[in-house]
Structure 1
Amino acid sequence: MEPKPVPEILAGLYRSSLEAPEAFQAEYEASSNRVLSILQSFELQEFELQLDDANALHYAAGCGCLDLCEALLRQHPQLNFQEDQYGHTPLLWAVRHGMAGAMQLLLRHGALAWHSDQRGLTALHWCCALDLPRLCRLLLAVPLYVETMIDQRCRRGWTPLHSGAYSGAASCCEQLVAANAQLALRTPDEWTALHLAALKGHAEVLNILAPHCSTEVMLALDSKGFSALDLAKDSGHAAAVEVLRQPEETHRHLVRAWYKCLSRGPEVDFHDLMEAALLIKAPIMEKVSKDALELCCHVVDLGFRIAGYVVEVKDCRGPSGAAPARVYYARSSEQRKVDDVEFLVPRLRSTGQAIWRRGGRYQFRLRGCCDRSSAPDPYSLRQVISEWSEATSLTGQRPRLRRFKSAPSL
């Protein structure tokens, strides 16, 4: 009795891995030993390893059978470069099914990491579209891959970052941004990656992309005149709208401030424009605990002028004209040009003196102290000051967002 053809056995294993993983585990050892025995006993020709426009290595790679992949590569290394009817090599089969071990093995045996299928999709496109961060990281570690493939467009005109943003692959997008993927590139519909993430409501992706986007990218319009914020609003994605609204509001503030400077005529100079790029909004109280309270402030500092902060605490029930208590903070190295900065205000100083009392009613203000060495001229502002916050009773708590914390210097 003739043995069952190798590709048929592997095709059966592959189908089991997709349709019945438990059955695949149960039959794997017997089937793989059977294939290895056939490969050792017979010198199979290349045509004997073909089935349904794919070869035995496609099926083995697609279900992650590493020992079988290795045996096939030793006897028939050319299988590594053959394509199925869609232009998929065994490497793309491994990637599309998340088989990291098989992908690495095929790459070690010379698989072309930059190969694209009939739709122009590379392995990196597939990783991002299917949200496979481990495989994405492995591909980006391939020598010269980042330089040649990170912004490669498929036939649809999408880069891997476009694919990742649309599918919500936050970790993949983070890796691409760290590898200097171009955020300004657009699809034929004039969509940036920001547009695509907003369209699908992927707030986590937007949180990764937005800090690295220029104002031009943040406000870019697609072929129908919609910004990323417009798409998020029209699609009803509240979380995405919240991420994108803040930069647009900041932009409007800067436009108004710069227009005010420029409207003064030809006497305006550079430091006036730099001062227009400094803004601190009134603090918002977020949480009160036994020994500390948390404030959050929206800070715009495009020139990285602010070196430290002073939180002022005013007792609304205290004597009129009394000086507010002050707590000093250094600027965090992680703070971005436009950021929500959180301040932890202790209840007591190290001397035991109270800064605030639980149950009291207080207002808060934030001063940003500018570094004079970074100023455009010696007459630039020494500080930028927010408005006083609304009077707040220190008894409740508001929902918290993730922000940088600044520790006080008492």
Structure 2
Amino acid sequence: MRRAALVTCAVLGLAAGGAHAGSYDDALAAASLGDARALASLLDRGIDPDTVDAQGNTLLILAAREGQRGAVDTLLARRVRIDYRNLAGDSALMLAVLRGHDDVARALLKAGAKVNHEGWAPLHYAAFEGREALVDALVAAGAEVNAPAPNQATALALAARNGHIGVVRRLLALPQTELNALTDTGLSADVWAERQGNTDIAALIRAERQRRGLPAPALRLRIE
């Protein structure tokens, strides 16, 4: 509710201030379409670099979501709020990762974008989509490998569930990766993988569990 109110105030304030509504729409379009020159001109004329649309997307989020590296660089040079999250809870880095815009994601990481926070985080998206190079980049940037998503799934569980064996191998190679974490429905990564037909991934996880000398996690049933 508070974020929605801030978004509304930002939009209304812009329309009532020095920059008119047409400039506001032009800035949103320039960020989304990657017209870095037009975007820079609008910013020089007074458009707030942290302008947001009705969904709480900043110019940076829009540019990152569409993979517009030039627009992203233009905005980063203006010291924008790099970690701002829209009404859905997504940051610029999260959406760049989700859509596989590697160069944009790396630019955001270099600029200091946060990799860890509550709820869904960039590593969850990278694992869910099977973005192997971005998993490596996020882990190198300090992403918490075992951080739970809202459904309590870790990156390993998400990759296992969706059949991304390359990501699973990368995560299993990390000694800190928890093998026995359970989702909110009581599923471990190997069981979730097996239920989705990814038996090769289930076998990999069980082999790594055996190599580490760990017992299988206790079955946890949720009674509705």
User: Aligned pair 1:152/2:117, yes or no?
Assistant: yes
Aligned-partner Cα distance in 2 for 1:198–1:188? 17
**Letter of the aligned partner of 1:150 in structure 2?**
V
Q: What one-letter code is carried by the residue in structure 1 that aligns with 2:149?
A: T
- Residues paired across the two proteins, number: 198
Of residues 203, 208, 216, the one that matches 1:247 is: 208
Amino acid of the residue matched to residue 193 of structure 2?
A: A
Matches within 5 A, 1:45-56: 46-50=19-23, 55-56=25-26
Cα distance in 2, alignment partners of residues 118 and 228 from structure 1 = 29
2:39 aligned residue: 69
One-letter amino acid of the counterpart of residue 56, structure 1:
D
Instruction: Give 1:60's aligned residue.
Output: 30
Contact 1:177 1:209 in 2 (8 A): no
Aligned with 1:161 (options 111, 119, 123) = 123
| Aligned 8 A contact 1:128 1:173 in 2 | no
Q: Is contact 1:201-1:232 (8 Å) kept?
A: yes
Counterpart CA distance in 2 for 1:233 and 1:74 is 55
Distance 1:67 1:214, change over 3 A: closer
Alpha-carbon distance change, 183 to 48 in structure 1, aligned in 2, over 3 angstroms? closer
Q: Which residue of 1 aligns with 2:145?
A: 183
Q: Which amino acid aligns with 1:233?
A: E
Gaps of 5+ in 2: 1-17, 216-224
Q: Residues 293-320 of structure 1, C-alpha deviation per residue, up to 9 Å, x if partnerless?
A: xxxxxxxxxxxxxxxxxxxxxxxxxxxx
Distance 1:112 1:213 in 2: 34
| CA gap 1:242/1:82 in 2 versus in 1, 3 angstroms | same
Quote the offset at 1:214 in angstroms.
Answer: 3.1
Separation of aligned partners in 1, 2:21 and 2:120: 38
Aligned residue runs from structure 1 range 2-401, under 5 A: 46-50=19-23, 55-78=25-48, 80-143=49-112, 145=113, 149-153=114-118, 157-214=119-176, 217-251=178-212, 254=213
Q: TM-score under structure 2 normalisation?
A: 0.81
Measured after TM superposition, the shift of residue 187 of structure 1 is: 2.0
Amino acid at match of 2:74: L
Q: Could you tell me how far apart the structure 1 residues matched to 2:169 and 2:133 are? A: 11
Post-superposition CA distance 1:243-299 (Å, at most 9, x none):
323202324xx359xxxxxxxxxxxxxxxxxxxxxxxxxxxxxxxxxxxxxxxxxxx
Contact 2:127 2:155 (C-alpha < 8 Å) held by counterparts: yes
Question: Hey, what's the Cα distance between the residues in 1 that align with 2:61 and 2:121?
Answer: 17
Q: Which blocks of at least 5 consecutive residues in structure 1 are unaligned?
A: 1-44, 257-410
- Partners of 2:69 and 2:204 lie apart in 1 by 33
Cα separation, 2, equivalents of 1:248 and 1:152? 28
Return the letter of the residue paired with 2:98. A
CA distance in 1, matches of 2:159, 2:123: 10
Which of structures 1 and 2 has the bigger CA Rg? Answer: 1
Q: Can you list the C-alpha shifts for 1:74-113, whole angstroms capped at 9, x where unaligned?
A: 11242x2211110011111100100011101111022211
Partner amino acid for 2:82? A
Q: Compute the TM-score of the two structures, normalised by the length of structure 1.
A: 0.46
The structure with the largest helix share of the pair is 2
State the superposition RMSD in angstroms.
Answer: 1.9
Alpha-carbon offset, residue 213 of structure 1: 4.3
Q: Structure 1 residues 114, 170: CA separation in 2 closer, same or farther (over 3 Å shift)?
A: same
Question: Is the contact made by 1:198 and 1:206 (CA closer than 8 Å) also made in structure 2?
Answer: yes
Q: Does the Cα contact within 8 Å between 2:190 and 2:203 map onto a contact in 1? A: no
Structure ranking higher on relative contact order (CA contacts 8 Å, 6+ apart): 2
> Could you tell me how far apart the structure 1 residues matched to 2:134 and 2:94 are?
10
Q: Is the CA contact 1:69–1:102 (under 8 Å) kept in the aligned structure 2?
A: yes
